[in-house]
Every structure is written in structure tokens, then in C-alpha cells.
Amino acid sequence: MSVPATEAVTSNGLYQPPAATSGSDSDKEMFLNLMVAQLRYQDPMNPADSGEFLAQNAQFTALEKMQDVADQTAALLSTQISFGAAGMVGKNVTYLNEDGTTASGLVSSVTYDVNGPMLVVGESSVSLGQIQSISATAAGTTAPPATPATTAATTG
């Protein structure tokens, strides 16, 4: 019988975890294989309690569902952060430079990389963690002039 955890020990004696496979499906399959092996090789004079196996299966299923909820929550948080960063385009921000000084400028765009959204302020890429303050419009600029359609609608 082959046990993957023992096969993952390298030549220097250190444990090297096996490469990730298809995630939850492979974990469930491994759990069921272990349960079947336990049943197959149990002592016939002292059989295992089937209720215990059912309880273990229920616990494993509950753990899977909690992991699914955690994964979905993380995806939702990532999406909210991305939308929040996109909403900062056109705003004036004050941010902390790497050397400890503060700078400010207009957010012209947002780029996304493995570290998350990065605001493009002038020639700099600024992470959301560096932002100290946000203002609605850039300093020294005015709101765009009203279009005739907007003026007619407001005077009507």
C-alpha cells in the first residue's frame, strides 16, 4: 500500500508536500480512500463504530463548506478593493513615498498586478496602502462646464 505523505520525504530527510491537485475533490477522495482502508483492515474481533465514520464524514463535509465560504469571501473582498481603486481615478490623492515624504497628485489610471491594484499618479505607481487622503477634485482645477442639456434640465 502506498502512502503519499511518506513518499514526499526528500533524500535529505525533509518533508516536501505533494503538489496540489484538483483541490477539494482530491481531498474528499483521499478521505474516502482512508476510510475504506480503515474498514478493510480493521480487527474483525473489534469492529469500528459506523457512527464514528459517519461523524467524521459529516465533519469533513462541513469543513469543505466552510473553506468554500472563505474562498468566496476572499474573492468578494478582492473585487471590492478593485472597484474601490477604480473609483479613485480622477481624484487627487496624498500618499506616502517610500522615503517617508508625502506627495500628491491626480490619479490618472489604475493597473492591476499580483500585488493588487496600483494607482498611477503622474509617473508613480502607488499602492492603496500608501494613500493618506483623497479629495474629490484635483487642487487648482474646476468642475467641467455644464452642457446645454444639463442646463436646460436644471432650469426647467
Query: Does the pLDDT at position 2 exceed 60?
Result: no
Position 43 pLDDT exceeds 50? yes
Look at residue 73 in the predicted model and tell me its pLDDT: 95
pLDDT at residue 18 is higher than 50: no
The reported pLDDT for the residue numbered 23 is 63
For residue 60 the three cell numbers come to 469533513
Closest CA to 95 of 136, 124, 64: 124
Average pLDDT over residues 132-151: 57
Q: Which residue has the higher pLDDT, 7 or 50?
A: 50
| Cβ atoms within 10 Å of 104's Cβ, excluding its own | 15
Mean pLDDT of 111-126: 88
Note the pLDDT tens digit of each residue in 60-84: 889 889 999 999 999 999 889 888 8
Nearest to 1 by CA among 56, 40, 50: 40
pLDDT at 145 > cutoff 60: no
Q: Could you give the domains of the chain?
A: 88-135 (2.30.30.30)
When pLDDT is cut at 50, 70 and 90, the band that residue 24 belongs to is: low
| Measured distance CA(147)–CA(121) in Å, rounded | 28
Asked if 94 contacts 104 with a C-beta cutoff of 8 angstroms, the reply is yes
Q: Are 89 and 109 in contact (CB under 8 A)?
A: yes
pTM, two decimals, is 0.52
Provide DSSP, 45-96.
TSPPPHHHHHHHHHHHHHHHHHHHHHHHHHHHHHHHHHHHHHTTTT-EEEEE
Selected residue with higher pLDDT from 14 and 36: 36
pLDDT tens digits, residue range 3-14?
A: 444 444 444 444
